[in-house]
Each structure stands twice: as C-alpha cells, then as structure tokens.
C-alpha cells in the first residue's frame, strides 16, 4: 500500500506492506523426526519526505518474525523463534541529472539470534562525468535471514532437517564505471570487496563405513559422483571476505534483439580454517573462481520473445569435512578442505 501527502512546501510519500511465507519438509533424513517447517512474517513500513527537488529524508522499517519447528515420532514438538527489527534512515541529495547520493545505514535489533544490535552502512553514489560516462559506488551491508525457502531456492537438495544461521555483512562494496549507450553498445566494469560473518557454506560430510564389522573400516569422505550427486547438502557457518572484479558488454538493436556477455573473477584461497576468515568472495554454493554469462533475447514479432543463455562456472571447489584424527570415525572435531570439481556449463 502506497500513498502521498502534501505537507507545506514538502511532499511526503509513505508505504506499508505485509507478507507471510510458509516453507516446510514432510520428512527428515534423521529417523524418528519430521522435516523442519517454518513460518515467516515480514512487515514493511517506510516514509520519505521530499524537502525540495534536490533533498529528501526518510526511513524504512522492517519487522521479521520466524518460527521454525519439527517433531519426533511421539509428536513432541520443538520450536525455535527469532525476531528482528531493522531501522534504515537515509538522506538523498541530487545535483540535476549528474550527481545522485543516498546516505544511510541499517540498525538491526535481533531477539534470540546472536548479537542483539548490528549496524551497517547503506550508501549509494553515482556521478555522470559526461553524457554516456558514469561512475558509481555502493557501500551496503546488513543481516541476511537464511530462511528455509531461501536456502531451498539456492539448492533443492538442502538438508530438510536443518535450521540455518543468519549471515551478517558489516560492509559489502562495489564501484565501477558505466559507458554508453553508443550506437546500441553499453559497457560496464566494476570491482568490489565484501566481509561476511556466518556465511553459510555447503560441505560434504565425513562418513565412517562399518560394513558390518566389529571394528570400523578405514574412514573416508564422500566425494561427488554420479551416484551421490543428489545427496542432501549440509551447511556450516564460516566468516568470509574477498574481492571481485568483472565487466559486462551489451548491444541492443532497436527493439528486435539484445545480446550481452558478462564475466566475474573472484580469487579463492585453497585453505579454510573455522577460526579464521576465509579469503574468497562467494559467487555461488560451488565457490567458482570465475563465472561467465552469455545471454541473447530476440523479438522476431511483437507477441514472441526468444531467450537464449549460456553460463560457464570455472575452477569450482567443494568443501568437505575430515576428522582431526584419522583413527576415530566418530571424532568430535573436524577440519575442512577443498575438493576440486570440473567446470560447469549451464
């Protein structure tokens, strides 16, 4: 719901929204337990007061409440509740069509979810040096709620029994240059750096094989094969940070065709430690070092649009789990390493 209100020489725009999301699994991988089920209520409240054509102040407010539950065979229910209130005040200023800035931040108050207060920036800047040449920079951050529906959208093979931690980014920056359009061509080059606490990384779990013997057989780790490639994914929280660099070129011919090519490169460290920051910007659950995207859209006639796309994900890494002691299959502590996967073409 949105509305406007005239206030003296200024103009007030305000809005309100309410959404409800349910996600759940019928069964769990663990014997004797049902799959996790989750109710998510999200409330949005916002207002912006336009002082004049160049200046405005405002604040967006977000309220989230999440209930996660599961039950055992005796129908004993287990519940987990968390709530979060986020205040995002901002100030916007512009100088004609050349310069635009939005200066603000996020203050999140969490209940039953780790740190009670999280503060992060929300800054967006753009400046057009000359027609067709623009510089931009963003410094953002905030808390990402890793709900069941979000994690299932990332991978439909997520563990149906899992309750995921939430990720917080104290800052995530990106700056770049936009050129065009000139004769239908546009070009963009960018770079960025981000820091993430409790980033949810998938890993391949350690397994000890008994084979019906009195003593356990040599322990091993499950490696991706054609037989187990659809096994459930497990997540673990790691603190990550890393840089990225990329470019994109696009061409549009009237309203008949659009083609684009984009590449992003993010260096990845070959080692990971649960007590240290992992150096590698996340480009996906498979942690590729580079991603190439090619897309084309054609409109041979007005009612018909044909889209064609190709994605290449290179130098991918799968995180796997190993015990600190090879002599015990039920070791209480683990270390993590990487398994190199072949490139993927989608």
Alpha carbon 319 to chain centroid, angstroms: 18
**What are phi and psi for residue 273, nearest 5 degrees?**
-130, 130
pTM of the model: 0.83
Higher pLDDT, 9 or 302: 302
Q: Is cis: bond before 181, omega within 30 of 0?
A: yes
Q: Are 23 and 148 in contact (CB under 8 A)?
A: yes
Residues 6+ apart with CB under 8 A from 346: 310, 311, 312, 313
- Residue 104, pLDDT > 50, answer yes
Report pLDDT digits (tens) over 269-287: 888 887 889 999 999 888 8
Which pLDDT band holds residue 219 (cuts at 50, 70, 90)? very low
Q: Could you give the CA distance from residue 60 to residue 145 in angstroms, rounded to a whole number?
A: 17
Q: What is the mean pLDDT of residues 12-31?
A: 88
Q: Are 62 and 44 in contact (CB under 8 A)?
A: yes
Of the given ranges (199-213, 285-299, 314-328), which has the lowest mean pLDDT?
199-213
Report pLDDT digits (tens) over 26-78: 887 777 778 889 999 999 999 999 988 899 999 999 999 999 988 877 776 78
Q: What is the mean pLDDT of the chain?
A: 85
Q: What is the mean pLDDT of residues 229-237?
A: 68
| pLDDT of the residue at 8 | 66
* C-alpha dihedral (48, 51, 55, 61), degrees to nearest 10: -20
* 345-156-146 Cα angle (round to 5): 110
DSSP letters of 243-275?
Answer: EEEEEEEEEEETTTEEEEEEEEE--B-S---TT
- Residue 213, pLDDT > 50, answer no
| pLDDT of the residue at 332 | 54
Which pLDDT band holds residue 209 (cuts at 50, 70, 90)? very low
| pLDDT of the residue at 231 | 55
- Residue 121, pLDDT > 90, answer yes
| pLDDT of the residue at 292 | 97
């Amino acid at each position: 719901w949105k509305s406007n209100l005239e206030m003296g020489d200024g103009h007030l725009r305000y809005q309100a929204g309410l959404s409800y999301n349910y996600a759940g699994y019928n069964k769990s991988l663990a014997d004797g337990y049902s799959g996790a089920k989750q109710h998510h209520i999200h409330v949005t409240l916002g207002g912006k007061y336009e002082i004049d054509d160049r200046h405005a102040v405002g604040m967006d407010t977000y309220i989230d409440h999440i209930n996660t539950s599961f039950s055992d065979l005796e129908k004993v229910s287990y519940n987990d509740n968390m709530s979060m209130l986020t205040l995002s005040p901002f100030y916007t200023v512009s100088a004609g069509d050349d310069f635009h800035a939005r200066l603000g931040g996020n203050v999140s108050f969490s209940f039953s979810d780790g740190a009670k207060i999280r503060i992060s920036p929300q800054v967006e800047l753009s400046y057009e040096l000359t027609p067709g040449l623009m510089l931009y920079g963003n410094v953002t951050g905030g808390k990402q709620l890793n709900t069941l529906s979000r994690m299932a959208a990332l991978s439909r093979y997520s563990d149906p029994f899992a309750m995921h931690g939430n990720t917080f980014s104290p800052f995530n920056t990106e700056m770049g240059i936009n050129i065009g359009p000139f004769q239908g061509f546009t070009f963009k080059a960018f770079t960025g750096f981000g820091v993430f606490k409790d980033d949810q990384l998938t890993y391949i779990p350690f397994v000890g094989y008994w084979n019906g013997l009195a003593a356990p057989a040599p322990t091993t780790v499950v490696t991706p094969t054609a037989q187990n490639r659809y096994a459930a994914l497990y997540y673990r929280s790691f603190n990550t940070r890393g840089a990225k660099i990329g470019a994109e070129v696009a061409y549009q011919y009237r309203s008949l065709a659009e083609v684009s090519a984009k590449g992003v490169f993010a260096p990845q460290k070959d080692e990971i430690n649960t007590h240290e920051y992992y150096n590698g910007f996340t480009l996906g659950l498979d942690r590729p070092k580079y991603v190439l995207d090619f897309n084309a859209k054609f409109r041979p006639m007005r009612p018909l649009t044909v889209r064609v796309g190709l994605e290449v994900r290179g130098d991918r890494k799968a995180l796997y789990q190993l015990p600190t002691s090879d002599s015990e299959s039920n070791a209480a502590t683990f270390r993590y390493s990487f398994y190199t996967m072949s490139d993927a073409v989608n």
